[in-house]
Amino acid sequence: MVFDQVNGLPVHILVLHAAVIFVPLLALGATVYALVPPWRPKLGWAVALLAVVAPASAFVSKQSGTELYNRLLGQGLSGNGKEILDQHMDYGTLTTWLSIALGVVSLILVALTVRNPRALPRIADLAIAVVVIVLAALTGYYVFQTGDSGATAVWGTY
């Protein structure tokens, strides 16, 4: 029930914008951190903070969305609207898991390089950069798809 309502408003509409902001910021920050070692001393604290806040905001958005979805099902949601929300929820689940993975990899990268931005052997730096770029691209794609399908569900632009 924590994720259901606040003063009659669905928690989902109050928290989803945090994920819309923080998840892409994590993707961008982690990518720059991975690709530009000279910038690491200035970006490390922000990437570490986003690596915690972005997945947390995605998780809260997903949980509150599930509560809203269950409330709508209880009120008789069916048909095309239910199909759109089912897809939206699938995208939200992928976004949550991908943002958690990106957050973990980002924290590992920051932890390994916080004292010395060029501490990793070149091949390890390249391998982690590839993982970060792939996770950032997938996370960015799915956060967009989640938002777009949610907007379609609310505004009916289908």
Query: Average model confidence (pLDDT) for the chain?
Result: 93
Environment class of residue 38 by beta-carbon count within 10 Å: exposed (0-12), middle (13-18) or buried (19+)? Answer: exposed
Residue that has been written with the tokens 């799915």 in this structure: 142
| 61 vs 85: CA distance, rounded Å | 14
User: Could you read off the pLDDT of 81-106 as tens digits, one per residue?
Assistant: 899 999 999 999 999 999 999 999 99
Each domain of the chain, given as residue ranges in start order, spans: 5-155
User: Could you read off the pLDDT of 40-49 as tens digits, one per residue?
Assistant: 999 999 999 9
CA angle 36, 42, 45 (to 5 degrees): 110
Fold of domain 5-155? A middle domain of Talin 1 (1.20.1420)
Helix 11-35 vs helix 40-74: crossing angle, to nearest 10: 150
**74, 26 contact by CB (below 8 A):** no
| 93 vs 36: CA distance, rounded Å | 30
